[in-house]
Amino acid sequence: MSAPSRIEERTRAFVAAHVLPADDRFDGDIEAAGGERLRGELQAKAREAGLLTPHGPTEYGGLGLGMLERAAVFEEAGYSLFGPMALNINAPDEGNVHLLDKVADAGQRKRYLRPLVQGEVRSAFAMTEPAPGAGADPSALATRARKVDGGWLISGHKHFITGADGAAFYIVFARTSGEPGDAGGATMFLTPADRDGIELVRHIRTMDRSMLGGHCELRFTDLFVPDEDVLGAVDEGFRYVQVRLGPARMTHVMRWTGAARRAHEAAVRYAVERESFGGRLADLGMAQQLIADNEIDLAATRALLREACVILDQGGRAAKETSIAKVFAAEALHRVVDRAMQLCGGMGVSADLPVARIAREIRPFRIYDGPSEVHRWSIARRAARDLR
């Protein structure tokens, strides 16, 4: 492993000093910890420390880190469930910064990207729909955008839109041509969240509690979006969304590696200190196997992540590599946290250690950004196609 970078070390120190205390006090529940108020306080401190939005473009105050450079920094931020929010690298804002930096025109960069990078606002990415609409299969997109004078009218139904409550703007995925199931015909639109025609129907209650703004159901009814707020080219949304999805999967891996590492370290510390059967728990063979398997899964996760990030930094799409890394990491990191819980016994399911809340937060990762089964299907199809 390479020597820690200065920004990596600064991130570790910042999280320990300013973020972990709130995380631990409120058991990883962002609303109980203060929600938007806490975000403002922590991001102000991150800004002072020169750590805010490390992946953002330097023209707006970000640090401009590439994918490989982000890995260790994002892992250190993810060591606390609130760390990504504090550094402005939480989903969906982190992925939206990346997408806007690659696709937005000059006016959109000023209106939407600049305040997002500087932590002045939050955003959401509105693609997922209730069945039979877009989900793991984006081509099922059913939300429609109809061309009118000067812009578009969008109508449709979205759900599981992370961070929607309190977001200043949405990136809305809508069909501008074709029918659900067609491979093309999608377009991305930018819209302030307070426009007429947008209804935040409800929060969908989920097991995870660390995401600011929740996971929401939205309804659009003749939402007007001017032509100037079309993101990229009309009917090219499926192509542009790939700009976001691959890197976003990898930054999820980075953040959750940090969380899983914290659970693992808490368990090892407990095993070293816990006396059982006449000696230290850490000296028992079965405990050592749990610890060793965790070390292996963490190392393998970082290796697959690194391979994908190198290709992304070189300009490649890395579709195969990001799918492999996402599937492996989602399942391996879940195993890490589960073993940590087992190693800690009763304490592992209590709020006295961070393990239980990390388990609660990390389990949905096997579903978010594409279920493991869908990625496996894609990997298998690609392998068969390549051999043909």
Tell me the pLDDT tens digit for each residue of 3-25. 667 999 999 999 999 999 999 99
| Residue 357 within any structural domain of the chain | yes
Domain count, the chain: 3
| Residue 171 within any structural domain of the chain | yes
| Residue 41 within any structural domain of the chain | yes
Pair 71, 152 in one domain = no
pLDDT score for 115: 98
Report the C-alpha gap between 352 and 276 in whole angstroms: 19
Pair 280, 382 in one domain = yes
Pair 14, 109 in one domain = yes
Report the C-alpha gap between 321 and 306 in whole angstroms: 10
CB proximity list for 371: less than 8 A, separation 6 or greater: 136
pLDDT score for 388: 82
Contact 30, 212 (CB under 8 A): yes
Dihedral over Cα of 44, 87, 243, 186: its sign: negative
| Residue 185 within any structural domain of the chain | yes
Q: What is the CATH number of the domain that holds 269?
A: 1.20.140.10
Pair 252, 224 in one domain = no
pLDDT score for 3: 64
Report the C-alpha gap between 380 and 350 in whole angstroms: 40
For residue 317, the enclosing domain spans: 238-387
Pair 112, 138 in one domain = no
Pair 243, 380 in one domain = yes
Task: Give, as one character, the DSSP assignment of residue 259.
Answer: H
Q: What is the CATH number of the domain that holds 31?
A: 1.10.540.10
| Residue 1 within any structural domain of the chain | no
Dihedral over Cα of 158, 161, 163, 167: its sign: negative
Pair 54, 171 in one domain = no
Pair 339, 373 in one domain = yes
pLDDT score for 4: 67
CB proximity list for 345: less than 8 A, separation 6 or greater: none
Of 178, 200, 235, at which residue does a domain stop?
A: 235
Pair 221, 341 in one domain = no
| Residue 336 within any structural domain of the chain | yes
- Going residue by residue through the chain, which has 388 residues, state the pLDDT in tens, using 9 for 90 and above: 456 679 999 999 999 999 999 999 999 999 999 999 999 999 999 999 999 999 999 999 999 999 999 999 999 999 999 999 999 999 999 999 999 999 999 999 999 999 999 999 999 999 999 999 999 899 999 999 999 999 999 999 999 999 999 999 999 999 999 999 998 999 999 999 999 999 999 999 999 999 999 999 999 999 999 999 999 999 999 999 889 989 999 999 999 999 999 999 999 999 999 998 889 999 999 999 999 999 999 999 999 999 999 999 999 999 999 999 999 999 999 999 999 999 999 999 999 999 999 999 999 999 998 999 999 999 999 999 999 8
Contact 302, 309 (CB under 8 A): no
Pair 284, 312 in one domain = yes
Report the C-alpha gap between 248 and 197 in whole angstroms: 29
Contact 171, 112 (CB under 8 A): no
| Residue 364 within any structural domain of the chain | yes
Pair 273, 375 in one domain = yes
| Nearest CA among 82, 75, 90 for reference residue 9 | 75
Of 216, 235, 254, at which residue does a domain stop?
A: 235
Pair 70, 112 in one domain = yes
Structure tokens at 197: 């025609």
| Residue 304 within any structural domain of the chain | yes
